[in-house]
Amino acid sequence: MATTTSSGTNSLKDWSAAQYLKFEDERTLPARDLLSRVPLASPKRIVDLGCGPANSTAVIQSRYPDAQLVGIDSSPDMIRKAKTTLPHLDFSVQDLTSYTPESAVDLFYSNAVFQWLKREERFEIVKRLMATQPSGGVFALQVPDNLAEPSHVLMRQTASSGPWAAKLASVGRDTFQTPQEIYDQLIPLSSQVNIFHTSYYHSLENHEAIIEWVKGTGLRPFVDPLQPEEKEEFLKAYLAALQKAYPTCADGRVLLRYPRLFVVAVKK
């Protein structure tokens, strides 16, 4: 899940595997859905790009137990956790922008990574890696498509409206390419490009749980630059905004809508 120099467009030093795994089941569900659309019976070599703490890698191994499977991630903490979780596999700290596979890869798989890269880099990297694949090889990726969701709109509004506004003025991630832009980029290399979109509705304990969710990923670039007192005030203001935007369900829980975009390209 971590990609380039820490988180892609930001200068974060590392990601927290423990924070990320607070919602392991929910975060792994789209990983399973992505893999279910991969049209390969028995790939020999698979690379999990941005493997995170190996929750996605475990899903891949379960489907393809005989494949040579490796995982890369830019986060040392994620790789430490991955090595503990699946000690028999090869995991390494790598920067996706410069990564080159040592041998041909039948399946490149990426669960929630490419959104962190700069817009102009994303599909240049995909095309560069696809060019190394054999005919029939697959590149499968999934990214959150949630910048227009209240959780992220309010994150940006909170950042721009408080005393920390100048400090956070350049924080955020680039918008993702549209399905047609993706298709047009990949079809020259591909025999088919399949794109689909799913919205998950995660039942969370309360509004504070939304913050705990985004603390593991999208909120980090906003709160990491802040001093402890600023961070506390930011989270207080953000929580108040979330409480207005997300109604409480009949059982007291809160539904977090989480759209995701999936792409599966088959090499010509």
Task: Return the percent helix, strand and coil in the chain, to nearest 5.
Answer: 40, 20, 40
| Residue percentage of the chain with pLDDT more than 90 | 84
Strand ranges in the chain using DSSP code E only, listed in sequence order:
45-49, 68-73, 90-93, 107-111, 138-144, 190-204, 254-267
Q: How confident is residue 172, by pLDDT bands cut at 50, 70 and 90? A: confident
Model pTM score: 0.90
Do the strands 90-93 and 68-73 form a parallel or antiparallel pair, or are they unpaired?
parallel
To 10 degrees, what angle do helices 228-245 and 150-161 make? 140
Q: Which two tokens stand for residue 90?
A: 């090869």
Q: Which two tokens stand for residue 40?
A: 């390969």
Q: Superfamily for 17-267? A: Vaccinia Virus protein VP39 (3.40.50.150)
Q: Which two tokens stand for residue 64?
A: 């393809």
Lowest mean pLDDT among 75-89, 149-163, 212-226: 212-226
